[in-house]
């Protein structure tokens, strides 16, 4: 596709939006680079849609500023913004054919008819719907409607594409296929994508960076790998991937930071935390289940404990083992062959993990 518009960066600066007493979006700030694929990820009701709608212009921020390409857009009405939105319910015009839906934005821009026709053909190909231009939206499957919605938003060459859970209504298989296709389209046209989803796997698969939202705030923004390895809050740790979140107390800081946990009965060495804690601070110690080793090998790690196995669950390609260490629950995942050596419920096994695999975050209140 011919590139008429440069992608643009989007910044939110201390943006707050209230609905009556509800603070739907609280003091949110982030910068999205031109051409980036960023996901807003979080549970239902955390303010993702409201954030996206403020960028599109359907909601206004009560406080703060939003810029597109460095220029404030809060006073610009939606129809003059260089953003395009793919709606959760697709919002296809039911009284218009697929081609007329695609043509809509171009007609509003007074593009000549023959040019519109050519662009429709190109777009039908890009979203892989050739020959369906004459259909009405209600004669299409959900997946096809989704593609029309996508094409209709892209055909006007926006600088930023906003997508609100666009795959939410599709079944799993179609969703996976569309995820790949959205990635391909993003690569091909290179504009900025801001993608709202509550599905962590979807966000991880697709995004350059993820902004994890909770109760109206962005708790962390970064590449999936970084968020996974270095979550900054207990919420982020639990929302992205699996996690043991242990209530712990800092007992030593400095070269060899140490915490106690399991009601202060056990100690654990941790890596130097990204943020500073002081002695006696109550914290969450995050340990990923796949970083916990089990069996004789466990002895070689920094932190080694006895675990009483309470449950062994076969989960296909791996096995989940639940147990108690010092009375505190812990779970881990291991390979099927490793599990077979220690799969006796009630038996005692050695478990261990490295100091570098522990992330300390503030205790979730």
Ligand X SMILES: Nc1ncnc2c1ncn2[C@@H]1O[C@H](COP(=O)(O)OP(=O)(O)O)[C@@H](O)[C@H]1O
User: Would you say 228 and 290 are in contact if contact means Cβ atoms under 8 Å apart?
Assistant: no
Site for another protein in 240-259 (CB under 8 A): none
CA 114 to chain centre: 41
Work out whether 104 is an interface residue with another protein (CB under 8 A): yes
316 binds, among Mg ion, ligand X, another protein, none (CB under 5 to 8 A by kind): none
Phi/psi of residue 121, nearest 5 degrees: -60, -45
Q: What is the spatial distance between Cα 161 and Cα 300, in angstroms, rounded to a whole number?
A: 50
Q: What is the spatial distance between Cα 74 and Cα 63, in angstroms, rounded to a whole number?
A: 10
Min dist CB 283 to ligand X, Å, is 28
Site for another protein in 110-169 (CB under 8 A): 152-153, 156
Q: Which of 5, 109, 117, 184 binds another protein (CB under 8 A)?
A: 109
Q: Are strands 303-314 and 217-222 parallel, antiparallel or unpaired?
A: unpaired
Q: Which of 90, 125, 119 is nearest to 105 (CA)?
A: 119
Count CA atoms within 13 Å of residue 357 on its CB side: 16
User: Would you say 295 and 308 are in contact if contact means Cβ atoms under 8 Å apart?
Assistant: no
Q: Which of 43, 45, 78, 142 binds another protein (CB under 8 A)?
A: 78
Nearer to Mg ion, 32 or 40 (CB): 40
Tokens 């930071």, residue?
257
Mask 24-63, x = binds Mg ion (CB under 5 A)? -------------------------x--------------
Work out whether 22 is an interface residue with another protein (CB under 8 A): no
Work out whether 316 is an interface residue with another protein (CB under 8 A): no
50 binds, among another protein, Mg ion, ligand X, none (CB under 5 to 8 A by kind): ligand X
SS3 209: strand
Residues that bind ligand X (CB under 6 A): 19, 22, 24, 42, 44-50
Tokens 């008429």, residue?
4
Tokens standing for 172? Answer: 């799993």
Min dist CB 154 to another protein, Å, is 11
Work out whether 61 is an interface residue with another protein (CB under 8 A): no
Nearer to another protein, 89 or 311 (CB): 89
Nearer to ligand X, 45 or 223 (CB): 45
For 104, counting Cβ atoms within 10 Å of its Cβ (0-12 exposed, 13-18 middle, 19+ buried), the class is middle
Task: Name the one range near another protein by CB under 8 A: 34-42, 52-60, 200-208, 259-267.
Answer: 52-60
Q: Which of 145, 120, 139 is nearest to 130 (CA)?
A: 120
Count CA atoms within 13 Å of residue 146 on its CB side: 20
Tokens standing for 183? Answer: 């990635």
For 256, counting Cβ atoms within 10 Å of its Cβ (0-12 exposed, 13-18 middle, 19+ buried), the class is exposed
Question: Alpha helix (H) ranges present in 16-97?
Answer: 48-56
Min dist CB 300 to ligand X, Å, is 44
Work out whether 19 is an interface residue with another protein (CB under 8 A): no
Q: Which of 19, 60, 93, 314 binds another protein (CB under 8 A)?
A: 93
207 binds, among ligand X, Mg ion, another protein, none (CB under 5 to 8 A by kind): none
Min dist CB 64 to ligand X, Å, is 16
Min dist CB 31 to another protein, Å, is 23
45 binds, among ligand X, another protein, Mg ion, none (CB under 5 to 8 A by kind): ligand X
DSSP 256: S
Convert 217-250 to b/e letters by CB count within 10 Å (16 or more is b): bbbbbbebeebbebbbbbbbbbbbbebbbbbbbb
133 binds, among ligand X, another protein, Mg ion, none (CB under 5 to 8 A by kind): none
Nearer to ligand X, 26 or 135 (CB): 26
Footprint of another protein (CB under 8 A):
56-58, 77-80, 83-85, 87-89, 91-95, 104-105, 108-109, 152-153, 156
Footprint of Mg ion (CB under 5 A):
49
């Amino acid at each position: 596709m011919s590139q008429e518009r440069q992608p643009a960066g989007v910044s939110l600066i201390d943006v707050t939006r209230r609905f009556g007493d509800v603070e739907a979006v609280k003091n949110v700030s982030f910068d999205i680079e031109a051409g980036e694929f960023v996901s807003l990820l979080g549970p239902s009701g955390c303010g993702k849609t409201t954030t996206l709608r403020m960028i599109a212009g359907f909601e206004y921020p009560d406080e703060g500023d939003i810029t597109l390409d460095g220029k404030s857009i809060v006073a610009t009405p939606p129809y003059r913004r260089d953003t395009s939105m793919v709606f959760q319910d697709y919002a296809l015009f039911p009284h218009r054919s697929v081609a007329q839906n695609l043509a809509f934005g171009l007609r509003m821009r007074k593009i000549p008819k023959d040019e519109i026709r050519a662009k429709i053909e190109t777009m039908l190909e890009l979203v892989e719907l050739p020959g369906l231009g004459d259909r009405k939206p209600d004669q299409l499957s959900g997946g096809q409607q989704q593609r029309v919605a996508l094409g209709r938003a892209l055909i006007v060459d926006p600088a930023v594409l906003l997508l609100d859970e666009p795959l939410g209504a599709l079944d799993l298989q179609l969703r996976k296929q569309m995820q790949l296709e959205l990635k391909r389209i993003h690569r091909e046209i290179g504009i900025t994508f801001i993608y709202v989803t509550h599905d962590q796997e979807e966000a991880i698969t697709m995004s350059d960076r993820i902004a994890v939202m909770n109760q109206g705030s962005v708790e962390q923004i970064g590449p999936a790998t970084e968020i996974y390895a270095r979550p900054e809050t207990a919420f982020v740790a639990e929302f992205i991937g699996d996690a043991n979140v242990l209530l712990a107390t800092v007992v030593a800081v400095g070269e060899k930071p140490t915490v106690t946990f399991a009601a202060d009965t056990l100690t654990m060495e941790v890596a130097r935390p990204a943020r500073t804690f002081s002695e006696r601070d109550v914290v969450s110690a995050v340990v990923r289940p796949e970083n916990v080793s089990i069996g004789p090998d466990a002895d070689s790690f920094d932190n080694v404990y006895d675990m009483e196995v309470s449950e062994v669950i076969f989960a296909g390609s791996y096995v989940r083992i639940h147990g108690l260490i010092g009375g505190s629950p812990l779970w881990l995942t291991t390979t099927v062959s490793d599990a077979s050596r220690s799969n006796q419920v009630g038996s005692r096994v050695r478990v261990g993990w490295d100091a570098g695999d522990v992330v300390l975050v503030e205790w979730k209140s």
